[in-house]
Amino acid sequence: MVPDMKYVVWIVSALLALAFLFTGGAKLLTSTADLAATAQGIPVILLRIAGTAEVLGALGLILPAATRILPILTPLAAAGLVVTMIGATITNLIIGAYPLAVQTVVLGLLAAFVAWARLTRQSVQPRSRSAAQDDTRTAH
């Protein structure tokens, strides 16, 4: 029996978000000296930009769909992560980090799956105006 696609998309999204929060956060929180020592010639600024894209992408995979506020941002975040993983794969191939290249290809394919699913089969409908207004009324 095939599990409900909705659950598959949420599980893949959550796992991707965790992976990108971890890897992106590490690129942002590691000291410049430590990052440069392990960067294999990749400019630290490029790693910081990639880390920022990964953290923002991770948040974009979950928050818009979960809150139903601008849910179109979820497939856009996933597509942005695909582009980021294409760049990471090319970089890993250039520096000879083949196992990492395989990892970035897999992450990119999973992000492409989420983008496709959230644009087609499992798109999230935006919150209705009345539901959003009800939430603000009950908060006061």
pLDDT tens for each residue of 56-99: 999 999 999 889 888 899 999 999 999 999 999 999 999 999 99
Token pair for 97:
């980090």
Residue spans per domain, the chain: 5-139
Whole-prediction pTM value?
Answer: 0.84
List the single range of 32-36, 100-104, 108-112, 127-131 with lowest mean pLDDT.
127-131
- Asked if 63 and 71 touch (Cβ cutoff 8 Å), the reply is no
Q: Between 98-119 and 44-67, two packed helices, what is the crossing angle to 10 degrees?
A: 30
